Chain A
């Protein structure tokens, strides 16, 4: 299993990342990728931009561990994760998670697994900037629930 992790202020090109995922990868018939972007919320003073902070010594390590966990549960051959940090504007890309595997079930499920765990374990923090000022984003209950959905039931 090959894992590529990129943490940078630079934006990614989806076409390039997809191409790298499938290059010389003839045993895999399935590729799935997810892109997360900065969205406008419903408030009267919508988000203009985010500042993405991270724990530099830990982020790559944490994402590596999440990808490895996915590799233990599913048969996947390539994982590519690109997560931006720093200033990111409305509509711009934040994160790319791509997976390739022989068949589609592993690809779909492992990509979702990686995103669900990234949301609760990877040391990034978002600060929103609106016309009203700045505010740290709070972790959402739905994200905690999503990661718990993957918990393996241990035999009694």
Chain B
């Protein structure tokens, strides 16, 4: 199972902070995004804007492969400081 976290306005848009996802074999972030978009219009809309993605707490590119026990986080461009 992979854990997928959503933060800030993305979390509000989706109405969920965290989901678990069954991943039989390593998949790319892009592939996981496609599966999430299948969940419905809200998901499709949410993922249609620029988002950052972190795997195991490090920002990565969208073609990164994710292994089945990873923690993934999707979030809007950051605004700290």
Interface residue ranges, A against B (CB under 8 Å): 36, 52-55, 57-58, 61-62, 83, 94-95, 115, 118-127, 136-139
Binding site secondary structure of chain A:
mixed
Name the residue among B5, B77, B81 with the largest chain A CB count within 10 angstroms: B81
Q: How far is the CA of A57 from the CA of B73 in the complex (A)?
A: 11
**Beta-carbon contact of A136 and B81 below 8 Å:** no
Give the 3 A-B residue pairs with the shortest CB-CB distance, closest first. A124-B80, A139-B77, A125-B8
Contacts A53-B7, A123-B7, A125-B7; A138 near B77 (Cβ below 8 A): yes
Chain B residues, CB < 8 A from A126 = 79-80
Q: How far is the CA of A118 from the CA of B80 in the complex (A)?
A: 7
Q: How far is the CA of A121 from the CA of B58 in the complex (A)?
A: 10
**Beta-carbon contact of B54 and A55 below 8 Å:** yes
**Beta-carbon contact of A124 and B57 below 8 Å:** no
Q: How far is the CA of A124 from the CA of B76 in the complex (A)?
A: 10
Q: How far is the CB of B20 from chain A (nearest CB, A)?
A: 16
Chain B residues, CB < 8 A from A137 = 79
Name the residue among A62, A123, A137 with the largest chain B CB count within 10 angstroms: A123
Q: How far is the CA of A118 from the CA of B81 in the complex (A)?
A: 7
Q: How far is the CA of A142 from the CA of B80 in the complex (A)?
A: 14
Q: How far is the CB of A124 from chain B (nearest CB, A)?
A: 3
Q: Does residue B43 face the partner (Cβ distance < 8 Å to A)?
A: no
Proximity string of chain B (43-60) to chain A, C-beta cutoff 8 Å, 1 when within and 0 when not = 000000000001001110
Chain B residues, CB < 8 A from A36 = 81
B5's closest neighbor in chain A, by CB? A55
Q: How far is the CA of A13 from the CA of B8 in the complex (A)?
A: 28
Q: How far is the CB of A107 from chain B (nearest CB, A)?
A: 18
Q: How far is the CA of A62 from the CA of B8 in the complex (A)?
A: 17
B9 partner, pick from A118, A123, A136, beta carbons under 8 A: A136
